[in-house]
Structure 1
């Protein structure tokens, strides 16, 4: 199993870089991580729940979970996903297929990635 040596979230570009001990650096958007959260809320019990309207989501906090995972807290309040190092590696290795499957499920549900409510702060 490959260990993660560094997690770096770029707040401006909203990209999380995950550095592994073999030199691999995987980059993820918060949206990708949020809609594919390993939490029971998203994974469900046998049938994954479709999470939509998360294009603008950001990461507000990353917490270490021992030496094997990270808990990612999102600015939409979701905070129950524990991202193990093998799961992050799997997300990287299967990113294109996972993303296409997500987009297909959104289309089939007649939903989308855009925020469901446009909020403007003055």
Structure 2
């Protein structure tokens, strides 16, 4: 994990847009980026998503409607959002947030490529890790 450098863009404002499901990051240079919750959730830096090494990533699906229920600042270097699916272990450093914000198109492509490669639908429900989650969703 890279620490803060003087070059790390720290947002001057962070706005959660619950209805449109985007996190708005406002920067001092006048730029602002709207990052969809789904993208943040799919690219969560948590071990649960990232795995503990290359190739161990868990492909996240069914996150199109995920929302952020709360966000906490961690020190002066990261945000820790709690998502509506209960995921809250991702620590989003300022440089990661900025990276996701400016590379959204690329990351979406990467995500869709991974879905395609895995033969998985974007809206497929996640296989429960252990069957502890008894969510009875009837479609």
What is residue 133 of structure 2 aligned with on the other side? Answer: none
What is residue 32 of structure 1 aligned with on the other side? Answer: 39
Instruction: Tell me if the contact between 1:26 and 1:92 (Cα under 8 Å) persists in the aligned partners.
Output: yes
Bigger-Rg structure (1/2): 2
CA displacement at 1:22 relative to structure 2: 2.2
- The correspondence for 1:3, drawn from 10, 20, 23, is 10
Q: What is the distance in 2 between the residues matched to 1:4 and 1:38? A: 19
Q: TM (normalized to structure 1)?
A: 0.89
Change (3 A) 1:119 1:75: farther
CA displacement at 1:93 relative to structure 2: 2.1
Q: Tell me which stretches of 4 or more aligned residues in structure 1 moved more than 2 Å.
A: 115-120
Instruction: Tell me if the contact between 1:8 and 1:16 (Cα under 8 Å) persists in the aligned partners.
Output: yes
Counting strand residues as a fraction of each chain, which structure ranks higher?
A: 1
Q: What is the distance in 1 between the residues matched to 2:39 and 2:67? A: 11
RMSD of aligned residue pairs (Cα, Å): 1.7
SS in 2 for 1:7: strand
Long gaps (5+) in structure 1: none
CA displacement at 1:2 relative to structure 2: 1.4
Q: What is the distance in 2 between the residues matched to 1:17 and 1:74? A: 16
Q: TM (normalized to structure 2)?
A: 0.79
